[in-house]
Amino acid sequence: MGLENCADNKIRNWHLRGISVGEKKWLSISLEILTQPHIMLLDEPTTGLDNASAFFVVWALRNIAHDGRIVVCSIHQPSGYLFDLFDDLFLLSGGEAVYFGEAKLAVKLKFSIFLNKAN
């Protein structure tokens, strides 16, 4: 999971410096993966990570999902290449469900809605 560089560092807390915020997030996700739960619920697993790290996290979670486990995570404003890794999408707007289905289909629907509004 890319934690080799900080393997000898202590985790610490807010007033004693230890591993970075990104490394803490990686560690948290890694520990969850090690327990091999049937369902994984992750709240913003990419927050605080750079683009490459965020991509790797979502790619790893996607592989876990494709191995038969259920992975649910909240993501705010993912980049296009990150969004492409998602199979299904539950889209909320103002606390209301506006879409549930294939992520790729949501992009096509958005484009067709945009074209219909332009006409």
pLDDT at 85: 93
Give the DSSP per-residue string, 29-42.
Answer: HHHHHHT--SEEEE
State the residue range of the domain holding 73. 4-78
Domain count across the chain: 2
Q: Are residue 22 and residue 44 in the same domain, yes or no?
A: yes
pLDDT greater than 90 at residue 11: no
40: CATH: 3.40.50.300
Q: Are residue 71 and residue 100 in the same domain, yes or no?
A: no
43-89 tens-digit pLDDT: 888 887 888 888 888 998 999 999 999 999 998 888 888 999 999 99
14-29 tens-digit pLDDT: 666 666 666 777 777 7
Q: Are residue 44 and residue 24 in the same domain, yes or no?
A: yes
102-114 tens-digit pLDDT: 988 887 776 555 4
Percent of the chain with pLDDT over 90: 19
Phi then psi dihedrals of residue 39, to 5 deg: -130, 130
Q: Are residue 68 and residue 38 in the same domain, yes or no?
A: yes
Q: Are residue 65 and residue 110 in the same domain, yes or no?
A: no
